[in-house]
Structure 1
Amino acid sequence: MTENEPLGLVRLDDTDLTVAKTEDDVRGLTVVGSDGEEIGKVHALFVDADERRVRLLDVESGGLLGLGAEHRLIPVDAVVQVSDEQVTIGRSRAEIAKAPGYDPDLEELKPADDLNDLYGYYGMTPFWTPGYRYPGFPFR
């Protein structure tokens, strides 16, 4: 990967990869902000196919039976805690609501553009830059 072009991010469900330990799979868990307010549920995981690490959570909120739901991509670097019931993000619900949106049905994830904006919004070092240190997700 180059500094400007993180490649190889795929939705875990679209691969033959699996989470090493079943208990570490956070899909379906409730996501809460640092203020304790519910944000939504982990809908999908984006993994770096080259390094086989989870890089982003696709968090779904609202809607009815998946219709009209909003999606937010959250870097795993923003995760501060994972329990059996929930994933806690180190930002408030209001902050996450203002993060760049993501429509999995209409948009293809464009790493160079979308991810630079996303990591910039969260004020985090992107995983493709030199010196990046993986946070050890899922922190159990």
Structure 2
Amino acid sequence: MSTEGNHSLVSSSDVNGTAVYSRDGTHIGTIDHLMIDKESGKVAYAVMGFGGFLGLGEEHHPVPWGKLNYDVSRDGFTTDLTEAEVKGAPERTSDWHRDRAWEQRVHEHYGAPMYWI
């Protein structure tokens, strides 16, 4: 995901597939897709893919967008989260993207500000 000039806008299609690294530089996953709040327009989550091989066996976990920071030198995102912390997050419900109580538990788990406040 390269950037040209000082533009801060990026297409969601350019974010999909971008690597995510821990603070120590360890590759912990990639962004599969984004979840955007329809009312506010804010990016709520980056759904990240972990593990697997060639797309098989990969697990997907939503991570609050506020826990990711773009790092130009890595051409990817960095986070203070670990893969174990992500996999230990509250289990998703079948309707997780419409379950505010679940979202609150997730944001508390990660210590992330709630995007809807």
Same fold (TM over 0.5): yes
Structure 2 CA distance for partners of 1:36 and 1:102, relative to 1, 3 Å = farther
Question: How far off is 1:33 after superposition?
Answer: 1.6
What is the total number of aligned residue pairs between the two structures?
107
Q: 2:44 aligns with which of 14, 39, 55?
A: 55
2:85 corresponds to 1:95: yes
Question: How far off is 1:48 after superposition?
Answer: 0.8
2:95 corresponds to 1:108: yes
In structure 1, distance between residues paired with 2:47 and 2:33: 5
When the two structures are superposed, what TM-score results if normalisation uses the length of structure 2? 0.74
Structure 2 CA distance for partners of 1:108 and 1:64, relative to 1, 3 Å = farther
Partner of 2:27: 38
Structure 2 CA distance for partners of 1:21 and 1:93, relative to 1, 3 Å = closer
SS in 1 for 2:43: strand
Identity across the alignment (%): 26
1:70-124 Cα deviation digits (max 9, x unpaired): 1111111111334363111122333333223548xxx232331321111010112
Question: How far off is 1:23 after superposition?
Answer: 8.5
Checking the alignment, whether the CA contact within 8 Å between 2:18 and 2:77 is kept in structure 1 is yes
Question: How far off is 1:44 after superposition?
Answer: 0.5
Please list every run of 5 or more consecutive structure 2 residues that lacks an aligned counterpart in the other structure: 1-8
Checking the alignment, whether the CA contact within 8 Å between 1:71 and 1:101 is kept in structure 2 is no
2:15 corresponds to 1:26: yes
In structure 2, distance between residues paired with 1:61 and 1:92: 11
| Larger RCO: 1 or 2 (CA < 8 Å, sep 6+) | 1
In structure 2, distance between residues paired with 1:23 and 1:128: 20
In structure 2, distance between residues paired with 1:51 and 1:82: 25
The CA RMSD over aligned residues, in Å, is: 2.5
Structure 2 CA distance for partners of 1:101 and 1:72, relative to 1, 3 Å = farther
Structure 2 CA distance for partners of 1:65 and 1:113, relative to 1, 3 Å = farther
Please list every run of 5 or more consecutive structure 1 residues that lacks an aligned counterpart in the other structure: 1-19, 130-140
2:115 corresponds to 1:127: yes
2:67 corresponds to 1:78: yes
